[in-house]
Amino acid sequence: MYTVPKLTNFSSAALDAAARDLLSALEAEAAAIRGDSEYKVFRDRWLARKDGVNELKTKITVVVEATLERLQGGASADRLLAERVDITLPGIRRPLGTEHPVIRTMNEIVGVFRNLGYSVSEGPEIETDYSNFESLNFPPHHPARDMQDTLFLAGQDEKALRDRLLLRTHTSPVQIRTMEKLKPPLRIVIPGKVYRNDPPDASHSPVFHQIEGLAVDNNIRFGDLKGTLDHAMKALFGSKVKTQFRPSFFPFTEPSAEMMVSCFICGGSGKRGREPCRPCKTTGWIEILGCGMVDPNVFEFVKDNGYDPAKVSGFAFGMGADRIAILKYGVDDIQLFFQGDVRFLQQFG
């Protein structure tokens, strides 16, 4: 380790020689530094000297800083070497997911109606009693309210009935919300989740999926409803499928009907080989949706936005996407759609 000598000769030649020895020793020690701890000792020993002149201290500072840069550059190089990626290696392939069978079914149904010129509308899953019931022709004490098994949010008892919040029991509130915003003519299809207080079993779930549709224009007739739905069912289940309608009741449509399709599993025969066809219960027909002409009382709630029942008419329909998925894929328990069992879902990949 270099030690500054005690000079007895202070001539220019002697001082230059001493400076050359000092710088030579500095360079040698700097070249030998290999780590941060050695560098700190090296820096403190050389920069803290009181026996050097300004010119020497400047040169020493330059060498010390260059040593630090060399060390840092070496660390960066080592780090880059450690992090280097071999781009010739094959990449990591992450397995791709697939659509859930219910979502796939909903997208297929929506696709059919989009091709017919319908737009997609969506709305909140937490609704007011007004939007979910009152504006859809459910008076406060209408018995049809009891059919819905509604799930109300807690803490709503102090509110007026129409303002109470609930989990929507159908996607029909989106029909009213859309008519409040858009003037006729109107053609929309509404997919979404709905909720009812149903105990879970093989055919019921407290949460399920619906798809509804609404068409409003001048001079829409029941024949337009039948033709639209007949075309949609053939697009979904095949051109050989037949449809039929039977009278029913819904508070928001009049007249109302349930639509049947010939069983697309047994071809309408009621049998699968020698065995009875369970999906259609051997009848050859499957109930697929409810529909009807929009009740004029519903239009009264949006009359000021161009839906005067004396001038416009329309039809509406609704179907359960989960039920159609059950029929389409031969699933015997609706709970399988909600349990998240990867083994079950992998069948649809």
Quote the number of domains for the chain.
Answer: 2
Residues in CB range of 329: below 8 A, 6 or more apart: 101, 348
Residue with tokens 């700190």: 40
259: left (phi over 0), alpha (psi -120 to 50) or beta: beta
In terms of domains, do 128 and 31 share one? no
115-119, 153-157, 196-200: which has the highest mean pLDDT?
A: 115-119
What pLDDT shows up at residue 41? 83
In terms of domains, do 145 and 61 share one? no
Residue 178 domain-assigned (yes or no)? yes
Q: pLDDT confidence of 117, banded at 50, 70, 90?
A: very high
Would you say residue 5 has pLDDT above 90? no
CA distance linking residue 63 with residue 168, whole number of Å: 77
pLDDT (tens digit per residue) in 290-346? 999 999 999 999 999 999 999 999 999 999 999 999 888 888 889 999 988 888 888
pTM for the full predicted model: 0.69
In terms of domains, do 130 and 252 share one? yes
The answer to whether 191 and 171 have CB atoms below 8 angstroms apart is yes
In terms of domains, do 273 and 307 share one? yes
CATH number at residue 142: 3.30.930.10
In terms of domains, do 209 and 143 share one? yes
The answer to whether 250 and 295 have CB atoms below 8 angstroms apart is no
Domain that holds residue 31: 12-83
Higher pLDDT, 157 or 11: 157
Which region among 108-122, 140-154, 178-192 has the lowest average model confidence (pLDDT)?
Answer: 140-154
CA distance linking residue 101 with residue 105, whole number of Å: 6
In terms of domains, do 107 and 192 share one? yes
pLDDT (tens digit per residue) in 45-75? 777 755 556 666 777 777 777 777 766 666 6
In terms of domains, do 36 and 143 share one? no
Q: pLDDT confidence of 198, banded at 50, 70, 90?
A: confident
Higher pLDDT, 16 or 133: 133
In terms of domains, do 132 and 192 share one? yes
Residue 194 domain-assigned (yes or no)? yes
CA distance linking residue 280 with residue 87, whole number of Å: 58
Torsion of CA 304, 307, 308, 309, to 10 degrees: -140
Q: What is the mean pLDDT of residues 83-98?
A: 76
The answer to whether 294 and 313 have CB atoms below 8 angstroms apart is yes
In terms of domains, do 39 and 155 share one? no
Residue 92 domain-assigned (yes or no)? no
Higher pLDDT, 277 or 293: 293
Which region among 7-16, 171-180, 191-200 has the lowest average model confidence (pLDDT)?
Answer: 7-16
CA distance linking residue 242 with residue 261, whole number of Å: 6
Average pLDDT, the chain: 86
Residue 96 domain-assigned (yes or no)? no
In terms of domains, do 131 and 209 share one? yes
In terms of domains, do 228 and 255 share one? yes
Quick one: what percent of the chain has pLDDT higher than 70?
90
**Backbone torsions φ then ψ of 99, nearest 5 degrees:** -65, 140
In terms of domains, do 252 and 341 share one? yes
Q: pLDDT confidence of 216, banded at 50, 70, 90?
A: very high
The β-bridge partners of 293 are: 315
